[in-house]
Structure 1
Amino acid sequence: MGSSATEIEELENTTFKYLIGEHTEIMWQRLKGILRCLVKQLERGDVNVVDLKKNIEYAASVLEAVYIDETRRLLDTDDELCDIQSDAVPSEVRDWLASTFTRKMGMTKKKPEEKPKFRSIVHAVQAGIFVERMYRKSFHLVGLAYPAAVIVTLKDIDKWSFDVFALNEASGEHSLKFMIYELFTRYDLINRFKIPVSCLIAFAEALEVGYSKYKNPYHNLIHAADVTQTVHYIMLHTGIMHWLNELEILAMVFAAAIHDYEHTGTTNNFHIQTRDLRNLVIEMVLSTDMSGHFQQIKNIRNSLQQPEGIDRAKTMSLILHAADISHPAKTWKLHYRWTMALMEEFFLQGDKEAELGLPFSPLCDRKSTMVAQSQIGFIDFIVEPTFSLLTDSTEKIVIPLIEEASKAETSPYVASSSTTIVGLHTADVLRRSSAKGSTNDGSFFPDYSLAAVDLKSFKNNLVDIIQQNKERWKELASQGETDLHKNSEDLVNAEEKHADTHP
């Protein structure tokens, strides 16, 4: 193959697994030269197909190596992963954290199959039937019939330990539809925005079809329902709902429901008429792109230091992002089930890579991946910093609201802001909704006022559960990955036994 063959042979003899600095630039230049030679030979028709395939695959591996090196170099100067020591986290876990949770302008983004293209989400938001008839006068009053088992599971919807798998089973695998309808009802969004109930149900069912399109073990309609419920919990128990107006609450629930929707561009199109809602939803959905994690965290952390306060859209995006990665902060039984679903999704990708003769992506080799170590790294460097920032942000936002509400109660002249009025209305609606949907004698009325917000308990609960889960992963890691399933089952059984004897 002439000069290009010589260059490729030289390139193959170069160690590029851990390129740094100038080596990366040199490799880029030489690689571009090789690719240009290949293009010219293709145009002349004098290239062997087998050699061409080999060289293209090799070029792809070089690109991947350069990408990982550039990502590491970015990490070493810009974000929290710079503190990871080589002996503290396995290299595969570090590579996964680096390639998944960082982004640099101009870098190759994740493969389309890992996350739906943003354009598809925009189409899903812009081009269909959901809000197309939102303000039409033909307002249908036909509601969604709740099976008895669904009513039982939804009574825990305000709890952090809500079991979305139980809801999915009780609803006949329609957990997302019932979650959307329940929250739109509880927040009075159907009435406030004149949403035809039939359209809302049709929208939820179409979403479920889209989420089930590729039969993903993790990124499916159950995950969407779980994230939507978690967003609700955070808004409710941090008091953030008193800070948001009704349009923003609608955007929060809506964005959570669609954030991982896999759209093909041919069906299930939806349209939004309200431009403000569209902008909020787009920004929040983008925030769930994991490659922007560290930049998002830094932006919000910096905004906490600014006198003008925290940006509303960025705070809403943080809530959705935190909910999206929240399963390590849930009870071990739920967290372990989500982890195994996610790992199976990774392994299925690895199976495809093996079939195509491609190198395994980080954590995608089902024979060698260290699941426990990956979760410890995920918790240490992604989950804990995110929820720490979430609690810091909610404290800065909500504490002044609590103080203002307290002064208003003792003042003879009450001058509530529009946000407070919205919050009071929402809290009242949720209170009435909970009482109406409860299975007891109706004597219990949850208090969702600002005065009832307990940020300390909210924070301590998260910290305790995350720490417990991390310790369990450490125990499993010390016992060996081969016994992961058996050991984890023992831990789950022990947890359930403990729960039975300690109500």
Structure 2
Amino acid sequence: MFCVSEQGSLTIVRRSSTKKSQNHTDTVAGYSSSFADDETLDAVDLDTDNLPAVDTPDACDKAAVRLRCLLRQLQRGEISAELLQKNLHYAARVLEAVFIDETKRLADDDDELSEVQPDAVPPEVREWLASTFTRQLATTRRKSDEKPKFRSVAHAIRAGIFVDRIYRRVSNTALMQFPSDVVRVLKTLDEWSFDVFALNDAASSQPVKYLGYDLLNRYGMIHKFKVPPVTLETFLSRVEEGYCRHKNPYHNNLHAADVAQTVHYMLCQTGLMNWLTDLEIFATLVAAIIHDYEHTGTTNNFHVMSGTETALLYNDRAVLENHHISASFRVMKDDECNILQNLSREEFREFRTLVIDMVLATDMSFHFQQLKNMKNLLTLAEPSVDKSKALSLVLHCCDISHPAKRWDLHHRWTMLLLEEFFRQGDKERELGLPFSPLCDRKNTLVAESQIG
């Protein structure tokens, strides 16, 4: 399902396939069933244009049903910010009409959750608000992350007011601010031939920072894995700096942003994301963002032939790819950049394994073997595709996808890549090494090099 956020951009929403998420959904469904069955809640129209006046008896019932529907959809991540705010505003107005004396007192309270008096909302509501909207740990830990069950409709409506207040505070201050020109370009993020060069201009040469943040937010990864927004921003800025370190014409931050956007297109437009768990999507997006981190602008073969320290460190095997992974995880070990700080030990191991598999598979020397393996799988009567291998192939294809995009984009990428090849050729000439293919700027015929 897709929702449109306040800024008009597409928000990705999906049902998690993990057992934990299923348990959460069951809890919310259990709460709702005492008032309305699941089908009834799913059929609720959350449009706010034709609602009864807030001071009528029907309004309280409408608000109660809508809050139960909102809680259900919030649990699934299937609600846009605009609809959430409109419905919470309506519920707040209903509560003001029914409990006028109480809401006058609440209106004077500070929006901060820490200032809410213990008896203002039930304990289970307070814990849910803390864990969902503030990045703070609940005062009392629940077993297996169980979501609270509200004791009454009044409690749910009262919770709605605090959700509305805290949501406004979080959305206005916690998340990174996007320049208007960046927002305009990102509205085309779901297109195959997304213009990352236009994003680079709008983002003051920081495409990874804004595109990476937007993607992780759209897929709900920031909320799902409790990634502190400031930490994510710092991590993406550090990654961007690493991509720019060697001033490469091609393997730079624009390429990283372009590949990450293409991976998003494949996840979203093909329905691939519905086959994956939240953690697998998180790993896939991060792998795309860091897959060429600190690229030197030279090939693996150059490192091997010239005997660089990197080649010695990784024993001539997938030299650059090993470095991209190792250096990226070193960045994430820094507390200021640790976007994985709230993953469990098991989640971290799975995440790291997936990222390693995917980035190593971008080594072009594995290209034909990957194609052969996938073709062989598809010839089987009942093919069983390993997720890691499938995602590795997806990232690899996205990494070399620009020939399939709009001509002007492909041509620009091609000329940048050739210039990078030529710079390597210049280094090879200085070192007395033979020219690698397409690296001799004086003798390479550009047109004939394009065999596609």
Q: Aligned letter for 1:142?
A: A
Contact 2:358 2:388 in 1 (8 A): yes
Q: Equivalent residue for 1:319? A: 394
Q: How does 1:228-243 map to 2 (within 5 A)?
A: 228-243=260-275
Contact 2:175 2:229 in 1 (8 A): yes
Contact 1:327 1:335 in 2 (8 A): yes
Contact 1:287 1:318 in 2 (8 A): yes
Q: Give the one of 428, 432, 443 matched to 1:353.
A: 428
Distance 1:160 1:361 in 2: 32
Q: How does 1:301-320 map to 2 (within 5 A)?
A: 301-306=375-380, 307-320=382-395
Q: Aligned letter for 1:270?
A: M
1:308 deviation in Å?
Answer: 4.3
1:269 deviation in Å?
Answer: 2.2
SS in 2 for 1:270: helix
Give the paired residue count: 243
Q: Equivalent residue for 1:292? A: 366
Distance 1:252 1:214 in 2: 25
1:370 deviation in Å?
Answer: 1.9
Would the alpha carbon gap of residues 328 and 266 (structure 1) be closer, same or farther in structure 2, given more than 3 Å must change? closer
Distance 1:353 1:203 in 2: 34
Q: Give the one of 180, 186, 192 matched to 2:212.
A: 180
Q: Aligned letter for 1:354?
A: R
Q: Aligned letter for 1:294?
A: F
Q: Could you tell me the percent identity over the aligned residues? A: 54
1:258 deviation in Å?
Answer: 0.4
Q: Give the one of 242, 248, 257 matched to 1:225.
A: 257
Looking at secondary structure, tell me which structure has more helix per residue. Answer: 1
Would the alpha carbon gap of residues 228 and 266 (structure 1) be closer, same or farther in structure 2, given more than 3 Å must change? closer
For structure 1, which segment, 200-209 or 348-357, has the greater mean C-alpha deviation from structure 2 after superposition?
348-357
Would the alpha carbon gap of residues 352 and 233 (structure 1) be closer, same or farther in structure 2, given more than 3 Å must change? same
Distance 2:412 2:136 in 1: 43
Q: Give the one of 243, 266, 277 matched to 2:351.
A: 277
Contact 1:224 1:258 in 2 (8 A): yes
Q: Equivalent residue for 1:252? A: 284
Q: Equivalent residue for 1:167? A: 199
1:372 deviation in Å?
Answer: 2.0
SS in 2 for 1:368: coil
1:63-111, CA deviations, whole angstroms, 9 ceiling, x for partnerless residues?
xxxxxxxxxxxxxxxxxxxxxxxxxxxxxxxxxxxxxxxxxxxxxxxxx
Distance 1:136 1:300 in 2: 44
**TM-score for the superposition, normalised by structure 1:** 0.46
Would the alpha carbon gap of residues 332 and 251 (structure 1) be closer, same or farther in structure 2, given more than 3 Å must change? same
Q: Equivalent residue for 1:202? A: 234
Say if 2:243 is the partner of 1:211.
yes
Distance 1:212 1:280 in 2: 25
Q: Equivalent residue for 1:51? A: none
1:136 deviation in Å?
Answer: 7.3
1:137 deviation in Å?
Answer: 4.3
Q: Give the one of 212, 223, 226 matched to 1:191.
A: 223
1:309 deviation in Å?
Answer: 1.8
SS in 2 for 1:216: coil
Structure with more relative contact order (C-alpha pairs < 8 Å, separation 6 or more): 1
1:256-303, CA deviations, whole angstroms, 9 ceiling, x for partnerless residues?
000001269789622455101111110000110111111111111111
Q: Equivalent residue for 2:183? A: 151
Contact 1:303 1:311 in 2 (8 A): no
Say if 2:171 is the partner of 1:142.
no
1:360 deviation in Å?
Answer: 1.0
Say if 2:409 is the partner of 1:334.
yes
Any gaps of 5 or more consecutive residues in structure 2?
1-134, 139-169, 295-322, 334-339
Would the alpha carbon gap of residues 246 and 136 (structure 1) be closer, same or farther in structure 2, given more than 3 Å must change? same
**Deviation beyond 3 Å, 4+ runs, structure 1:** 135-138, 263-268
1:316 deviation in Å?
Answer: 0.6
Contact 2:235 2:331 in 1 (8 A): no
Q: Aligned letter for 2:388?
A: A
1:390-426, CA deviations, whole angstroms, 9 ceiling, x for partnerless residues?
xxxxxxxxxxxxxxxxxxxxxxxxxxxxxxxxxxxxx
Q: Aligned letter for 1:299?
A: N
Q: Equivalent residue for 2:92? A: none
Contact 1:217 1:341 in 2 (8 A): yes
